[in-house]
Amino acid sequence: MNNNTSVIKKPKETFAIIRIALIKSLLVVFIAFAIIFILNLMMQSYLDREVAEIAKLAEKTARAEAAITESNNEAEIARLRFEADRVKAEQAEAFYQKYKNRGSYQDYGQFYELYTKTVSADIMILGTSHATHGINPKYLEEVNTDYKFYNFALNGSNPTYYYNWYTRLFREADYPKPQMIIMSVDWFMFDDGWLWRRLSHDDSPDRPVDIMRKLKATEVTVDTTDTEQIAVDDPLKTEDTENSKKETINIFDIDAVLENLFSRIAVIYARDRIFEMLGSYLIPGSENADISDAAESENETETANTTDISEEIAEFKLPVYEHPYLVDGSGFVTSDYYHGYIPWESAYAGHVQDAGCNDNPSQISDFKKMLDIFEEERIPVIFVMCPEYIPGRNAPQFNEKNDYLIQLAAEYGIPFLNYNTDLASEINDDYGYYSDWGHMNTKGSTSFSRKLAEDITEYLP
């Protein structure tokens, strides 16, 4: 009798064990989801505050620009224009201080310029990383003083990316039409295996375009009868504009679906900032330190109290910010960022690397469509191929690909400055100028930019 009872109790005991284990498992899952949910709320709040802090500076810009329209005195207008430029410089510095520790700061800096028009460049530089790290606008401006240059080249960018960038983001931002475009071309530029960039890389949540859309959504309206009254809408309540369309996701592309899903969860897409975020809650006010430091480091300039415009303008000096040396994990020298250019420093001993490429016909098609748009809009274009360390690349296809670019330039009537063929120099033969066979370091980009500054003078509009 006891044996039978024992047999009957075993299934009940087993069920009880399973039930307890299931409850514990569900409890663990619930706690895990609760932690993720709370962390996600904290992260989203942290990111939102970060954008809002930068957006507050738009009030100063609005006041400065509104004051210009209210004055009829030429000397006062000149002073107010300087003040508006000074405030924009202060705002740009605050943006740098806030985002300088993010990976690839040049992405943030370039989209900041695109949407805020702080420089409002006369001449734009487009292209791949060879231009990003190779063309420094500082030296182009030193020689060609009548023009403002900005380097909008981005790592990994291909013709399709820039066609979308120009027809969507450039127009969405309403950036001034350039007087000329320096198009940095590469013999491998139609290989989208090499050049991986897509718009989703930049307009996903908490990426540069998303941040700038939030800042742009800070609509500042000024009552011209009372410049003290400024209404700033919540910068975090924004909707994508008609032009900012998302890329279509194929539901059968698991990687793309997961990427799109995880890009909506703040604690996942900003996971590298979790400790930084937690620190902001544990040490209240620490997140404002960078902006405070930027304000304190500003060089204040006194202006003369005179109605002589030429004398007064001579006294105007925009603040110059000096940044402590800062290099990110990729070797990009963030502290030397200037108008889109950022140097890359990496040890290179001149070893030879194989470099082949496979053209994607759609990339060629999009490049031509982009050139057609520039032609239609009457924007002069000049092709520039940045120097490469020729002994360090094994590129059997170079001549074939280069010939096609020469043909394309002739077809569109575009001048072509090729610094790997007819304009090659000592830069091409000394690996001390490079971080690898294709990317110049600071020394190389400085020497090349100074040379390019002289060479483009005859083509400037």
pLDDT at 373 over 90: yes
Mean model confidence pLDDT for the chain: 82
Distances (CA, A) of 88 to 83, 84, 385: 9, 6, 33
- Bigger pLDDT: 261 vs 430: 430
Of the pLDDT bands very low, low, confident and very high (cuts 50, 70, 90), residue 287 is low
Model pLDDT, residue 288: 53
Contact 197, 159 (CB under 8 A): no
What CATH number is associated with residue 283? 3.40.50.1110
Model pLDDT, residue 217: 72
Least confident of 30-34, 64-68, 362-366, 384-388: 64-68
181: left (phi over 0), alpha (psi -120 to 50) or beta: beta
- The b/e string for 15-45 (b: 16+ C-beta within 10 A; e otherwise) is eeeeeeeeeeeeeeeeeeeeeeeebbebbbe
pLDDT at 114 over 50: yes
Question: How many structural domains are present in the chain?
Answer: 1
Least confident of 4-18, 82-96, 296-310, 350-364: 296-310
The rounded percent of the chain whose pLDDT value lies above 90 is 49
pLDDT at 104 over 60: yes
Of the pLDDT bands very low, low, confident and very high (cuts 50, 70, 90), residue 80 is confident
Using only C-alpha atoms, the chain has a radius of gyration, in whole angstroms, of 27
How many other C-beta atoms can be found within 10 angstroms of the C-beta atom of residue 113?
23
How many other C-beta atoms can be found within 10 angstroms of the C-beta atom of residue 415?
14
Mean pLDDT, residues 337-353? 96
196-250: per-residue pLDDT in tens?
A: 999 988 888 778 998 888 887 765 444 444 433 333 343 333 333 444 444 555 5
Model pLDDT, residue 54: 76
d(CA 178, CA 114): 12
17-76: per-residue pLDDT in tens?
A: 787 878 888 888 888 888 878 877 887 777 778 777 777 776 777 777 788 887 788 888
Least confident of 35-39, 188-192, 426-430: 35-39
pLDDT at 10 over 70: no
Distances (CA, A) of 311 to 75, 77, 82, 172, 278: 10, 14, 14, 39, 51
pLDDT at 406 over 70: yes
Model pLDDT, residue 147: 97
Top-ranked range on mean pLDDT: pick from 187-196, 216-225, 267-276, 290-299: 187-196
**Nearby residues of 443 by Cβ (< 8 Å), 6 or more positions away:** 432, 433
Contact 391, 422 (CB under 8 A): no
Model pLDDT, residue 229: 38
pLDDT at 272 over 80: no
Model pLDDT, residue 42: 81
Place of tokens 């006891």: 2
Of the pLDDT bands very low, low, confident and very high (cuts 50, 70, 90), residue 320 is confident
- Structural domain of 180: 2-459
- Bigger pLDDT: 459 vs 240: 459
Residue 59's identity, in one-letter code, is: E
Model pLDDT, residue 44: 79
Mean pLDDT, residues 362-387? 97
Mean pLDDT, residues 266-283? 74
Model pLDDT, residue 315: 55
